[in-house]
Structure 1
Amino acid sequence: MLIKDIDLSKNVPKQTLLDALKCEAGTINITDIMAAFVHLKKESIYVQASYREEFDHAYIQSFLMRIKEIRNNKKHYDGLISADELQEAIKILKDQQRLAELDHDQHMNFFKIYRLITIYTTFIMDEPVHPVGMPFPGGFKIKQKKGVYYCPVKESQKDNPGAVCGICIAEQDQDV
């Protein structure tokens, strides 16, 4: 079963979503991963040099390694995911995919992985899309305090059509 085959007329069992993610992650091959890696490296040239290495490491480690994590996840997850929230996430990601196809068709390998990672971290792992410690301009990072995740850019990026802030579970870091 693929994500598109899930019945979104009712809340979705976490395990059903994980099974669909695992199925789709199984279609990702080394060429897709290499193309995504190249895309991330090219995009990092726009990141301030002072933290580019940390940014690259955080993205590559957390982002690309999540595909392996999805494939190998043997846990059983109880609970339900809000069909409305999942539908909204899928809509945001479809809109981003359309923009990516128009703008950079060669980045679709990256987007295929990006989509799976975003849904997995948000709905299965209950974690923010960007990992704790992910650096942002100004020396700010994703933080976790008492089980709550905080992002330094959530508020400023929530309406950005290319960002996943509208999906992410992190809250705006008020210390920024």
Structure 2
Amino acid sequence: MNKSKKVPMDTKELLASLEKDARRISNNDIMKARSFMLNYVKFLPEKYKKAYSTELFSYYYETFMEIKGLRSNPVIEEIDIETYNELVKNYSQQFNEDPLESYFQRFMSVVTPYLIFITKKPLHPVGMILPGGMTIMEPNGEYYCPIKNKQTEVDIALCKYCICKDNEEVVKTDRYMCGKSFRY
């Protein structure tokens, strides 16, 4: 998500850019990004620390390796340039203190747009425990997050770009599923 580059106009251009950026990130860079994440979560309660340091980073790493290994042609769709530029700006404002942050930011600048614009997957893995003890869910191929709408007032939160719907929408949807029930 380098600001000096031409802004991708569609998913094919974005994917080509992300693949190129992924090849420039070394294993050492990834280790430094992981170190940042471990430091970042060290004061969280143990169950959240594990979720964020292990599950979340593994999800990002697997996504990164998927990008790095891609040799396919994606379905070409237009990308909302305004949303993309807002994401880049929002993301670049998040990091500024720890020397390892730049490695994490670079790593995530490849992973985040891929999840949002290419694969249309959540920014957190399905089943990951979030504050409050609830998890990201995927009933019937739709993604739901228990904290999506609670993060709208957090300026640096990336939730507004995430494919997940708020959990409240599961309740609305469940009413119309003809007797099929869904447990939280």
TM-score, normalised with respect to structure 1:
0.84
Instruction: Compute the RMSD of aligned alpha carbons.
Output: 2.2
Whole-Å separation in 1 of the counterparts to 2:115 and 2:108:
11
Which residue of the partner structure matches residue 5 of structure 1?
A: 5
- Are positions 1:118 and 2:112 aligned together? yes
Which residue of the partner structure matches residue 83 of structure 2?
A: 88
Spell out structure 1 runs of 4+ moving beyond 6 A: none
Largest Rg, 1 or 2: 2
Whole-Å separation in 2 of the counterparts to 1:122 and 1:6:
19
**3-state SS of 1:143 partner:** coil
Task: Map Cα deviations across residues 79-130 of structure 1 (whole Å, 9 max, x no partner).
Answer: 313334xx323323323313413x3454111011112111001111011111
Question: Of 121, 131, 144, which residue of structure 1 is paired with 2:138?
Answer: 144
Q: Is the 8 A contact 1:117 1:129 kept in 2?
A: no
Letter in 1 for 2:24: T
Unmatched tracts of structure 2, length 5 or more: 172-183
Unmatched tracts of structure 1, length 5 or more: none
Question: Of 14, 23, 26, which residue of structure 1 is paired with 2:23?
Answer: 26
Which residue of the partner structure matches residue 72 of structure 2?
A: 75
Q: Is the 8 A contact 2:147 2:166 kept in 1?
A: yes
Q: Is the 8 A contact 2:35 2:100 kept in 1?
A: no
Q: Is the 8 A contact 2:22 2:64 kept in 1?
A: yes
More helix by share: 1
Letter in 2 for 1:93: V
Which residue of the partner structure matches residue 95 of structure 2?
A: 100
Whole-Å separation in 2 of the counterparts to 1:70 and 1:7:
19
TM-score, normalised with respect to structure 2:
0.81
